[in-house]
Chain A
């Protein structure tokens, strides 16, 4: 489990505060040379985790939702800055709803596999054995869109959107 707060480690009688992604990787016993750079991970996140309509997120979306400044994001994405605080990394990776374990992957393929992990897809079950009316289809669509918006808001620490108005269906 990834620590939510900086953690104090004792290594060779030295105290190490796990404060940055480099510390986190060190704590996992991973050599920096072996793993994907944070810049590569960020670029893969933007490429493979899209909006619900399939269009890519923009840096401004992430910046607005996470509070990480656009300039800092730009430095990290370009690789001009390789290390950052855990708080920043958690905010960005959390925005894309991916496990922090992505910081430990070694290849782009592993990262993409984590990003596209099917366990994070929405599973829907309804009475599909019978034909659903156009109204029912529209309503199911509204419910799913609300769930997606709600979970997105929760991840981004934003107010939960109001549930759909079903008065039309009464």
Chain B
């Protein structure tokens, strides 16, 4: 996995991480990609999420029944696929259950196959989601610390002769 490429993709978003909310981030991604991104939380049947792209729109569906942390992670993971260009145009495996079913719906659907490249793309998407979550965590905290409500959190207590634990 090319971690440098993934990190560079996250950095190139030029996003103000201290302002992060999922909705705000989705709007930012849609602006960067210059096409609508529809993200929908639905009760999915035993899988965490899926991503669909058509000529004009991107869609992400994630499982509302999972823990909030996993919901966030899934959305970031699916966004990663869009941002990292994981959109190879490949024919369906007509013999698989999914392939035969989808071809029945629409003979122009393409599904990413289960091959080593997909495994690599999944790893990259996971790494993208982890990097983003790291940025959120860091910036969110730093921003909070600069707010007056949290001012006490960044100043050391007055010197009393007793050293402060830590470090």
Which residues on A are within 8 Å of B, measured CB to CB? 50, 52-54, 97, 118-129, 132-141, 143-145, 147-148, 151, 163, 166, 169-170
Q: How far is the CA of A170 from the CA of B97 in the complex (A)?
A: 23
Q: Mark B74-87, 1 if CB is under 8 A from A, else 0.
A: 00001001000011
Q: What are 19 pairs between A and B in contact, CB < 8 Å?
A: A53-B105, A121-B89, A121-B108, A122-B52, A123-B54, A123-B87, A123-B110, A123-B111, A124-B102, A125-B51, A125-B86, A125-B112, A127-B47, A127-B49, A132-B46, A137-B98, A140-B101, A151-B54, A151-B57
Chain B contacts for A128, CB-based, 8 A: 98, 111-114, 118
- In the bound assembly, the distance between CA atoms of A132 and B113 in angstroms comes to 14
Report Cα–Cα, A117/B90, bound state, in Å: 13
Q: How distant is B105 from chain A, measured CB to nearest CB, in Å?
A: 6
Contact B109 A144 (CB under 8 A): yes
A144: which of B65, B105, B122 is its contact (CB, 8 Å)?
B105
Q: Are A133 and B45 in contact (CB under 8 A)?
A: yes
User: A54-B107, A169-B45 are contacts. A122–B101 as well, Cβ < 8 Å?
Assistant: no
| A143 CA / B41 CA spacing, docked (Å) | 12
CB within 8 Å of A: which B18-52 residues:
40, 42-52
Smallest CB-CB separation from A98: which chain B residue?
Answer: B55
Among B45, B81, B111, find the residue whose CB has the most chain A CB atoms closer than 10 A: B45
Most chain B beta-carbon neighbours within 10 Å: one of A128, A147, A163, A170? A128
Determine how close the nearest CB of chain A comes to the CB of B77; give it in whole angstroms. Answer: 10
In the complex, the answer to whether B52 meets A129 with C-beta atoms within 8 Å is: no
Q: Kindly state the interface size class of chain B when it binds its partner.
A: 35 or more
Name B97's contact: one of A121, A137, A169 (CB within 8 Å): A137
- For residue A118, which residue of chain B has the nearest CB? B89
Contact B55 A126 (CB under 8 A): no
Query: In the complex, what distance in Å separates the CA atom of A145 from the CA atom of B109?
Result: 11
CB-based contact A170/B106 at 8 Å: no
A163 to B38 CA separation, bound complex (whole angstroms)? 13
B110 near A122 with CB under 8 A, answer yes
* B-chain residues with CB within 8 Å of residue A163 when the two chains form the complex: 40
Q: Chain A residues with Cβ under 8 A from B44's Cβ?
A: 136, 139, 166, 169
Cross-chain contact B108 with A122 (CB below 8 angstroms) = yes
The 7 closest A-B pairs by CB, nearest first: A126-B50, A120-B55, A135-B45, A123-B53, A136-B45, A121-B108, A52-B106
Tell whether B66 is near chain A: CB-to-CB under 8 Å. no
Contacts of A122 in B (CB 8 A): 52-54, 106, 108-110
**Cα separation A120 to B109 with both chains bound (whole Å):** 9
B128 to A: closest C-beta gap in Å: 14
B119 adjacent to chain A (CB < 8 Å): yes
Residue of A53, A119, A126, A137 ringed by the most chain B CB atoms within 10 A: A126
Known contacts A125-B81, A128-B118: A143-B105 contact under CB 8 Å: no
- A residues near B119, Cβ cutoff 8 Å: 129
Given contacts A122-B110, A136-B46, 9 further A-B contacts (CB under 8 A): A122-B108, A123-B52, A129-B118, A132-B46, A132-B98, A140-B101, A151-B55, A166-B43, A166-B44
